[in-house]
Amino acid sequence: MIYRLKLLEHGRVPPESGPARQAYLLEIGRSALELAEVEQTDLLAALALTPPFPILDVSGDHEADLLAATRMRADWDELKSQLPAEVLEAHEQAARRMTKLAVEALNFLEDTELADRAHALVDSTALLSSGLYGCKLWVEDGEVWTDCPIRMSHVRWGVSLEMTTEWGCSICNERFDVCPHDPSTEYEVTTTHATGSCSICHEHECEHEDGTIVAVRPFPTTLSISSGATAMVARPRYPRARATAMTLDIPADTPLYRQAEEGVLFCDQCRQSCAGLRELDWETPPLGS
């Protein structure tokens, strides 16, 4: 099994622990949660749909589950057939976005009192998105890949980088540990984007205008990174540092593989009843079969 991972993000590093981290997680997570809920409400209203929706309750009896899956797909086809195709198509992006926002909310809120709400939203938005639009599997480098939001989010693990980092000063770009700039003092800096990032906030996109002078406190920025190692962890510092896609165990000489190559193979994971979130378990592989 191969994973595609998001390791780091541009910009400032999230707080490691303590109340500052809790506030950071809550601020971003709550925003994503509320936005996803609004998007879901808007989508249901636009398509005049009302839950409950067809879902597969997995019994463990292989034959019975195959029949139930066929019925579930037929029920979704029936539901979709009642919707005008152009209306359905017009809302696909919003449906995908709402699911991504719900997963984002869970990634930030998993240890808060909003965790259950975020989890329920992942399940309901993924069901709706998958049921209406499907989650197409694809072939790349001889493997069948999926970016299924349910598979990615229901085993709680992420990625931690261990890096030897040389830190520079956000003002003078010299080594932060030896330059004279004091992190508790404000310095006047002229805004420029000449290096590709802002001299004030070091973001690629921001509202600081070139030529304006801004009082800023210096902070460490990355000058160079070496000897990186990657570890699977239960709680990554960057809440988005997680698997973004994974391969499925579908051999190349099978009909399923050929269907994936032709772009007609879809993942049904989001349309199955939820078995709950799982914490990282070293005894079994992550995102196990």
Which of 50, 81, 82, 185 touches another protein (CB under 8 A)? 185
Q: How far is the CB of 179 from another protein (least distance, A)?
A: 9
Can residue 160 be called a binding residue for another protein (CB under 8 A)? yes
- Binding piece for another protein, criterion CB under 8 A, among 65-73, 124-132, 163-171, 261-269: 163-171
Which of 166, 174, 186, 210 touches another protein (CB under 8 A)? 166
Can residue 161 be called a binding residue for another protein (CB under 8 A)? yes
What token pair was written down for 278?
């799982």
DSSP element (H, E) containing 4 = strand 3-5
Burial class (CB in 10 A: 0-12, 13-18, 19+), 99: buried
Can residue 237 be called a binding residue for another protein (CB under 8 A)? yes
Can residue 176 be called a binding residue for another protein (CB under 8 A)? yes
Which of 241, 250, 260, 270 touches another protein (CB under 8 A)? 241
Task: Compare residues 165 and 192 and give the one whose CB is closer to another protein.
Answer: 165
Question: What is the Cα–Cα distance from 244 to 246, expressed in whole angstroms?
Answer: 7
Angle at CA of residue 149, ends 121 and 37, nearest 5°: 25
Q: Which residues contact 282 (CB under 8 A, 6 or more apart)?
A: none
What token pair was written down for 236?
């990554």
CB of 246 closer than 8 Å to CB of 155? no
Can residue 171 be called a binding residue for another protein (CB under 8 A)? no
User: How would you classify residue 12: left for phi > 0, otherwise alpha for psi between -120 and 50, otherwise beta?
Assistant: beta
Can residue 108 be called a binding residue for another protein (CB under 8 A)? no
Which of 19, 84, 196, 211 touches another protein (CB under 8 A)? 19
Can residue 215 be called a binding residue for another protein (CB under 8 A)? no
Q: How far is the CB of 101 from another protein (least distance, A)?
A: 22
- Binding piece for another protein, criterion CB under 8 A, among 113-121, 144-152, 169-177, 269-277: 169-177
Q: How far is the CB of 267 from another protein (least distance, A)?
A: 29
Count Cα neighbours of 110 within 13 Å in the Cβ-side half-sphere: 21
Can residue 178 be called a binding residue for another protein (CB under 8 A)? yes
Q: Which residues contact 189 (CB under 8 A, 6 or more apart)?
A: 171, 199, 200, 213, 214, 215, 216
Which of 59, 164, 224, 273 touches another protein (CB under 8 A)? 164
Can residue 162 be called a binding residue for another protein (CB under 8 A)? yes
Question: What is the Cα–Cα distance from 125 to 115, expressed in whole angstroms?
Answer: 15
Which of 1, 10, 11, 20 touches another protein (CB under 8 A)? 20
What token pair was written down for 62?
């292989």
Which of 38, 175, 263, 273 touches another protein (CB under 8 A)? 175
Q: What phi and psi, each to the nearest 5 degrees, are found at residue 130?
A: -70, -40
Return the HEC string of 194-216: CCCCCCCCCCCCCCCCCCCEEEE
Q: How far is the CB of 104 from another protein (least distance, A)?
A: 16
Residues forming the site for another protein (CB under 8 A): 7-8, 13, 15-23, 158-167, 175-178, 181-185, 220, 226-229, 231, 233, 235-238, 241
